[in-house]
A and B are shown apart, each in its own frame.
Chain A
Amino acid sequence: MITTARFAFYVLFHPIDGFWELKYHKEKTFGAANLILALLCLMNVASMQFASFHYGILDRESNNILLNISSFVLPLLAWTVLNWALSTLLDGKATMKQIWVQSVYSLVPLLLSMPVLLVMSYVMTLSEYPFYALIQTLAVLWCVFLFLFGNMTIQDYTMSKTIAMAFFTFLGIAATIFIGIILFSTFQQLISFVSTVITEIRYMP
């Protein structure tokens, strides 16, 4: 598993080969991906909590670790499910597990940038923020690059189709959130209705 996780460094520079290997020839990729994700969450919390005062968030006491982690994991989960759901309809070749693994491996640049940024926050003043932002942006761009090539490789798509699929996946995520909110509020109404009825009955003269 650890060896497979370390394979992330190869994927970083050889996305097409790397993701191909990952899909067909590597073992325990799911566990490895989850290990990487766990590290990512840990690093994210650490950089929230331990960044220097001037680079961190002002109000550390209201920092919510669960919220912090879920802001990371939930979108990833939504992406995986929706991307799988759409790609199965449009002859994608990846399983849901493979999409998950690919997504997490694509986030490795972020994982690598975080400790660097954390250290930088203790060395730089706010006026040197552009350097900080540069690394941040590079990491994100690299992630996007890996995401696209990774998805393309494991789904066996062309680049244009991958980009179109990404677009539709985002639409799907938006729709899911929308439906989720509707469901949530409907149930809320339903529950309050039932509880009101119960109260009415209990106090009926």
Chain B
Amino acid sequence: MAILLTLPLLMGSVPYASYGYGTINDEVFPSLAGAAPVRLITGADLGVGALRNPRDFRFGKDGLIYLADTGNHRILVLDGDLSVLRVIDGFDRDGVRETFSSPEGVFARADGTLYIADTQNGRIVVLDKDGSLLTLMDQVQLTGSTLTFRPQKLGVDGAGRVYVVAGGSTEGLIQLTDEGEFVRFFGSNRVRPNPIEIIYRLFLTRTQRQSREQFVPTEYSNLHIDDIDLVYTTTRNVREGQLKRLNALGDDILLRGDTGSRAVFGDLMLTPRNMSRTAQFMSVCLDADENIYALDNATGKVFVYDKTGYMKFMFGGKGDQMGLFADPHAVAEKDGTIYVLDAGRGTVTQFRLTEFGEKVLLANRLFLQGDFEESLEPWTEVARMDAGYEQAWYMIGNAYFGRKDYAAAMEYFELGYARGSYSRAFGELRDDWLRDNFAILFILAAVGLIGLAVYVNVRRRQKAGRGKAA
């Protein structure tokens, strides 16, 4: 409660609360804002009329921004300064003009080849960078599934394999060849059966069982392909695996912190508005250091995780001011500028990392690279700006540990509630001490042992003497 009351004081000029996760009892502690809104962009600002229910906003591998203006059935191509380069609202197919129907996803490869998930037409349109049709994937047969193909989001890896998030696809991502041939379902979410439900079902008739909710895996909500062709996915309504990083086998290889609540993907701050810890991730993107920006549609917050799965800070929220959203659907990042697309209002909000956010990410990058020494200065700076930022103390402790200054390391680990690391530092300190004082200790032990032996011997003789006397 106290935290809730003090939060507005710390918010400064941003209209949302910023907080980190503590080690003790899943506590939430207020922190400085990691990013602040700088600009709100509407369709009118772009000069293309109001956006209607836009669903996707993505940096292409060619560096341009691609915005799926779903309600207006068009794709906008923007440059880095957010001025419109092209508006794509259709293509020529054998001389006949064809249009899109509610395209929800878009992806561009490095050569500008554009993949459009033409959702309501049930097809994927591939255009070259001048807008002429390359491939039309409209005959996708999903083997072993009765699903109608409704592509929503897509990504293409370096080899041209297409990964598609499709509505209702509980089997996982759909993988297609570059020609649009169905290959396989990829990286399906696992079902987690509920034991009570299983027992309950034992007592039901078949008809009753069929009317119960089915145990089906949850469908993916979005995907992002990173630079080495691993697929990041988001899933809504799940307690585990909200964020995944899939390798070629479809296994999740995302790191999730080491222990405790800092490894949770989702909001730990429970408010009347947000009573659930299940994040509704709608979109995910990475920055150059592989920090993960994940957009939670339920709370409207963008959570920033580093590549080891630790939550660094968050920003955004639900509401009416700049920096808050009605129904956010996409997040994209470039050079410390973060864009969030609000489908509900048809706007794009531009955020900039604050000094604090930049420091945290810089220090964290150095730390993860193993430059403990280098990371000491920025982490100290972070701790100076926000002494409540628990991770900073832990990281400073690590820097001192790397420097073999174990006493200082212990002090900082204690501030960061890092018990295991504290113990490690303490062990080193103790062993050093033992090593330095080994000679003295050895002599003391030897003297003690000899003394004891003499004492026992004397006592025994005394007793024997007394026995004889009696």
> Min CB distance, B428 to chain A, in Å?
9
> Min CB distance, A118 to chain B, in Å?
15
CB distance A54 to B430 under 8 Å?
no
Q: Which residue of B lies closest to A126 (CB)?
A: B423
Which 7 pairs of residues, A with B, have the shortest CB-CB distance? A125-B427, A126-B423, A54-B423, A125-B423, A59-B24, A54-B422, A53-B414
Query: Does B337 have its Cβ within 8 Å of any Cβ on chain A?
Result: no
> Min CB distance, A54 to chain B, in Å?
4
Known: A54-B423, A125-B423, A126-B420. 14 other contacts (CB 8 A): A52-B426, A53-B413, A53-B414, A53-B419, A54-B419, A54-B426, A58-B23, A58-B24, A58-B417, A59-B25, A123-B430, A125-B424, A126-B419, A126-B423
Write out the residue numbers on chain A whose beta carbons fall within 8 Å of the beta carbon of B23: 58
Query: Does A127 have its Cβ within 8 Å of any Cβ on chain B?
Result: yes
Write out the residue numbers on chain B whose beta carbons fall within 8 Å of the beta carbon of A58: 23-24, 417, 419
CB distance B426 to A125 under 8 Å?
yes
Within 8 A of A (CB), among B399-457: 410, 413-414, 417, 419-420, 422-424, 426-427, 430
How many angstroms between the C-alpha atoms of A127 and B424 in the bound complex? 9
How many angstroms between the C-alpha atoms of A123 and B23 in the bound complex? 25
Within 8 A of B (CB), among A61-81: none
Q: Which residues of B contact A (CB under 8 A)?
A: 23-25, 410, 413-414, 417, 419-420, 422-424, 426-427, 430
How many angstroms between the C-alpha atoms of A31 and B206 in the bound complex? 70
Question: Interface size (A, Cβ < 8 Å)?
Answer: 9
Specify the main secondary structure of chain A where it touches its partner. Answer: loop
Q: Can you report 28 residue pairs joining A to B where beta carbons are below 8 Å apart?
A: A52-B426, A53-B410, A53-B413, A53-B414, A53-B419, A53-B422, A54-B419, A54-B420, A54-B422, A54-B423, A54-B426, A58-B23, A58-B24, A58-B417, A58-B419, A59-B24, A59-B25, A123-B430, A125-B423, A125-B424, A125-B426, A125-B427, A125-B430, A126-B419, A126-B420, A126-B423, A127-B423, A127-B427
How many angstroms between the C-alpha atoms of A123 and B430 in the bound complex? 8
Q: Which residue of A lies closest to B23 (CB)?
A: A58
Within 8 A of B (CB), among A100-139: 123, 125-127
Write out the residue numbers on chain A whose beta carbons fall within 8 Å of the beta carbon of B430: 123, 125
How many angstroms between the C-alpha atoms of A84 and B430 in the bound complex? 50
How many angstroms between the C-alpha atoms of A59 and B27 in the bound complex? 11
Within 8 A of B (CB), among A145-173: none
Write out the residue numbers on chain B whose beta carbons fall within 8 Å of the beta carbon of A52: 426
> Min CB distance, A131 to chain B, in Å?
14
Write out the residue numbers on chain A whose beta carbons fall within 8 Å of the beta carbon of B427: 125, 127
How many angstroms between the C-alpha atoms of A192 and B417 in the bound complex? 42
Write out the residue numbers on chain B whose beta carbons fall within 8 Å of the beta carbon of A127: 423, 427
> Min CB distance, A128 to chain B, in Å?
8
> Min CB distance, B408 to chain A, in Å?
14
Q: Which residue of A lies closest to B27 (CB)?
A: A59
How many angstroms between the C-alpha atoms of A123 and B434 in the bound complex? 11
How many angstroms between the C-alpha atoms of A95 and B420 in the bound complex? 49
